[in-house]
Structure 1
């Protein structure tokens, strides 16, 4: 025997539209938020086109970011040898020298986090607006908030390259320069962040049933 409970009311079903800038809700016909003066746009699945476009662009640039060298090191003007390191090669080299902690940070920030963001944003864009229970919607919201939180740490590899390039400039003795992968990685991170920002979290609640059931 099933029992119906109170309807699951959302802002969209109540005839309201929320402001994505300040969170204030207004009647559906309102065009501008009177609190922050931002434009009010109702949630629309067509906005997911921008999410997919930025995500694919980020994925395209992530491939050369892992294939090309991230760092180029020159010792004694190249007489003592030049070396190039990819992201994964740098992790292996750090492990070889016993720097397990730094290797773990670089591996997580440069490989695990970007791949996790690609999968998470792609999954959120795929299920946005589709039928879901309240529990499913909360789970999707948590994943979205995690993606938003870790986005600020995505540039750690680029920061390391920039710091090393600025500090290790000893002229003829030794010098470090960023490789082509640094630009690709930075663009990949930027496009992925734009993809996450283009996602409208209000679509998470569009697939909720009108009523919850308890069997």
Structure 2
């Protein structure tokens, strides 16, 4: 139940994280706030496709994949889906491993804010979107920690016990 609550919270917070400005770069008095997707497109248009790819993966793809993985895991447990436990455990391990990579984007923003303080020449300020994004990262990390992967194996054992019981009943008949 806690995993569901945290996953839904993360999904809802992903909306303001992608709509609100993540940071504002002001260079020589000119600049405007940019969102995650807007910043990624701007990097790509300026020929920085490698950095744009990293930002896109860390800020868009990873959180979405993590939330989808958490929903799949929660549905497997709640609906007792007939899924091979090894496959479900792979999903769990991937979701657990990729979660930390979302922090890469926040790390980049914090370094930019700390390093680029040139007064009237250039200024970088973190926006409300970065706070929402940081909250998404933390909430989804808690969601993964709250999920108990043993539940996957419990479902498998229950199904195997039911199959064994059915086989024994058929033998008696």
| TM band (smaller chain) | 0.7 to 0.9
- Normalising by structure 2, we get a TM-score of 0.87
Q: 1:132 aligns with which of 76, 82, 85?
A: 82
Question: More helix by proportion, 1 or 2?
Answer: 2
- Normalising by structure 1, we get a TM-score of 0.71
Tell me by how many angstroms 1:184 deviates. Answer: 0.4
Structure 2 residue aligned with 1:193: 141
Unaligned 5+ segments in structure 1 are 1-48
After superposition, the Cα gap between the structure-2 partners of 1:54 and 1:131, relative to the gap in structure 1 and judged at 3 Å, is closer
- Count of residues paired in the alignment: 160
Please say if 1:122 is aligned against 2:100: no
Structure 1 or 2, whichever has the larger Rg, is 1
Runs of 4+ in 1 over 4 A off after TM superposition: none
Q: Aligned partners of 2:21, 2:52: CA distance in 1, in Å?
A: 17
Structure 2 residue aligned with 1:146: 94
Matches for 1:2-41 after TM superposition, within 5 Å: none
Alpha-carbon deviations, 1:147-178, whole Å to 9, x = none? 11112211111111100001110011111010
Contact 2:17 2:133 in 1 (8 A): yes
Q: Aligned partners of 1:176, 1:195: CA distance in 2, in Å?
A: 32
Matches for 1:17-166 after TM superposition, within 5 Å: 49-76=1-28, 78=29, 81-128=30-77, 130-132=80-82, 136-166=84-114
Give the CA RMSD over aligned residues. Answer: 1.6
